[in-house]
A and B are shown apart, each in its own frame.
Chain A
């Protein structure tokens, strides 16, 4: 067996003349711990005849082989506190009341810990939400610390941190109510964060958390698009999803507000990366086609579309979209725009070109209907039998039958 100088293991169960039964004395191994990324090791398995007549092993004697790849060397993302959302609710809070600290975002492959400068009974690490109790009035600071990794947890950067201040009022102090105008009802999808599992090895279980707001009530449902073609609706803001393929995925989420309207935004988009394993068959597909704006408007309207897909063997080569109006565009970017001049119903199809240069998509979740409205209703459509026809039929029938009866009676 050969190993490219990295892994060596000799084993023999062959002929006594060449090697003794269970030639364990020959066996040797070399640890792969600490192997740098980007290294490939091939372990070849030869027949026992290989040694018969000397070391003349050739391809014909090889029965099997296994390839092990130590993984890509990826750049560790720099600390970016803008990619991490921290929230304290309520803020300010009164002594002896509960206070929730929550953190979410695309930063933080590993979260190191949290510290509070005082005023609360809190310890440990904030994963999603952490419920604490306020115990002393004052102004304090919460510090959240994390580390970004790429590829695997041996490839991590330095510690990053972000701070947020919070205020605790004495329990006797009540804020003076100030009259505020009633705000217009608004709701939105505000953020989609990756809580855990990003950059894990395939199959990876990734936890996503979405945050939405609704001034008229509470968010009723969440719809997650995981970027691998799968979608799920749930009443929980946090969801776990198992990715069966490695690659980079564009996850998105929509929220259903208290009035029953689905809200989406570009803030509710996050990039999920799943690290590949040594042996993984090629997998690629178009995941979703999103209509990000322009739907249901009157002409001329600009439709904006987003095509997402994945490929576990590398970056997608190109994106293509058929706008359904006879126009198709190809681009390196996955965002597209098209102006529709005429009212109608258009079937829009998105495609991705994978690393094997195959176009995929155009159906299922990569096909959407885009509606361009006509002019408003000027009069209500006619949905009955013309009145004249009904009157003519009744009068004509009545007189005809009367004539026929009269004719018979006259005979």
Chain B
């Protein structure tokens, strides 16, 4: 009897843990994935990014930064529907500092370059988090879907800088060798944990500056 009660208790804890994980990690990630698939379908089938665009012309604009919401300090990646604020100059070596920043958007690593100043800028955000936050839970979950040529727009102090994705890489958490590589043009690195739902590896997307036209 005691054995069965203990087993029952363990099973209950296991199910509760799963529910916690499902609510904080699985559902937000699934939501982001579903939204992406829905918008991909809209884009491919009707060439609009919003269902309202089927009727109203003002919604037929492709998301090329014209509709970005965070034009003071923000980032827009049209291909994966990212349009979020950026918190600049966040200490990437202080987990308390960056965890706090990631609750408010995408973090720019202090000691790396700012947009328009040359050099390498490093931006990071959650692929998922168990922190029970909804808005910025899985901001960079879709980084893996970016392809070379996709555009990334970064606003810093109301000025926009455009980048084009060149490549991606999966690295160990302690591998920072890419910081010391030589780059022909100003480059940014977008980072998130990989695979989603773990902290095992880091997924990096590299994008280089598009010269102003």
Which residues of A come within 8 Å of B, CB atoms? 220-221, 256, 258-262, 296, 298, 343-345, 369, 371-387, 389-390, 392-401, 403-404, 407
Contacts and interface: CB of A to CB of B under 8 A. Distances in A.
B133 interface: no
B182 to A, nearest CB: 14
Interface of B: 7-8, 10-15, 17-22, 24-25, 88-89, 91-95, 98, 102, 107, 109-114, 116-118, 122, 124-130, 140, 157, 161, 171, 173-176, 179, 185-186, 191-194, 196-200, 202, 209, 211-212
Contacts of B107: 381
B114 A380 contact: no
B124 A383 contact: yes
A380 B14 contact: no
A373 B173 CA distance: 21
A395 to B, nearest CB: 7
Contacts of A369: 157
B193 A389 contact: no
23 contacts: A258-B211, A259-B185, A343-B110, A345-B88, A374-B89, A374-B111, A377-B122, A378-B176, A382-B173, A382-B193, A382-B199, A383-B126, A383-B127, A383-B140, A384-B128, A384-B193, A384-B194, A384-B197, A385-B24, A385-B196, A393-B17, A400-B10, A400-B12
A221 B93 contact: no
B7 A381 contact: no
B152 to A, nearest CB: 14
Contacts of B89: 343-345, 371-374
A220 B199 CA distance: 43
A403 B8 contact: yes
The 5 A-B residue pairs whose C-beta atoms are closest, nearest first, are A397-B18, A384-B193, A396-B14, A393-B21, A400-B14
B118 A261 contact: yes
Contact of B110 (A373, A392, A399): A373
Nearest to A392: B17
Contact of A384 (B13, B112, B129, B185): B129
A346 to B, nearest CB: 10
Contact of A385 (B91, B124, B199): B199
Given A373-B111, A390-B21, A381 B124 contact: yes
Contacts of B173: 379-380, 382
Contacts of A221: 212
Contacts of B211: 220, 258-260
Contacts of A376: 111, 179
B117 A296 contact: yes
B191 A260 contact: no
- Most chain A C-beta atoms within 10 Å of own C-beta, residue among B7, B19, B117, B199: B199
Given A374-B110, A383-B192, A396-B14, 11 more contacts: A369-B157, A373-B110, A381-B98, A382-B173, A385-B25, A385-B129, A385-B199, A386-B199, A387-B197, A400-B12, A403-B8
A389 B179 contact: no
A59 to B, nearest CB: 54
Contacts of B126: 383-384
Contact of A403 (B11, B117, B129, B176): B11
A256 B107 CA distance: 26
B15 A404 contact: yes
B110 A384 contact: no
B161 A260 contact: yes
Contacts of A407: 8
B19 to A, nearest CB: 8
Q: Which of B7, B15, B128 gathers the greatest number of chain A CB atoms within 10 Å?
A: B15
A380 B111 contact: no
Contact of A380 (B8, B125, B171, B209): B171
Contacts of B20: 393
Contacts of A404: 11, 15
A386 B200 CA distance: 8
